Amino acid sequence: MADKWSQTALLVIDMQNDFILEDGLMKVNGGKAIVPNVIKAVDIARQRGILVVWVVREHDQQGRDVELFRRHLYSPGKAGPTSKGSVGAELVDGLVIKEGDYKLVKTRFSAFFATHLHSFLRTEGIKSLVITGVQTPNCIRQTVFDAVALDYQPVTVIVDATAAATPDIHAGSRKGRNKGKRETL
């Protein structure tokens, strides 16, 4: 069974305290509700021998590597969202990086932008991706677009293991697409 899945990777995107917890600095309202489904997706991936890639945001304490439109969230002496080493940058409770998993740090929406993700996945023989995490119109969508442009096939989004700030935004990001529990591009 493992051979069937050896060319697939599960990307778990931005499931960090600052995005998921009630007091998170970048709270995604729908984030907490999907945690059990993300845990389930990770468990199933591991059972099937699918490579699990933890894609996380980690920023410089001063926000020097943050998008310009977010720089105001960082100031001297105060850790901004997902600052490296902060509690907010840690994975939410229930999600754990295990031996054999891979952690990738990003500083922009797409997991592919200015990272070595594509090179790593190709080295691992990965041809298809399954996507979970937050937030649908930003990091999920940009990562999916880049994956399709880089010829990963198929790219599957587990709809009930992804979330946005509101259900309408989540649904709007999928407008005109399959409304099932997963979508394949």
Question: Which of 93, 106, 179, 181 is flagged as catalytic?
Answer: 106
139 is catalytic: yes
From the list 84, 139, 151, 181, the catalytic residue is 139
Cα gap 179→86, rounded to integer Å: 37
Active site residue 93: no
Residue 17, phi-psi category: left (phi > 0), alpha (psi -120 to 50), beta (remainder) = alpha
14 as an active site residue: the answer is: yes
81 cis-preceded (ω within 30 degrees of 0): no
Active-site choice (14, 18, 27, 146): 14
80-105 burial code (b ≥16 CB/10 A, e <16): bbbbeebebbebbeebeeeeebbebe
Type of residue numbered 25: L
* Residues labelled catalytic: 14, 106, 139
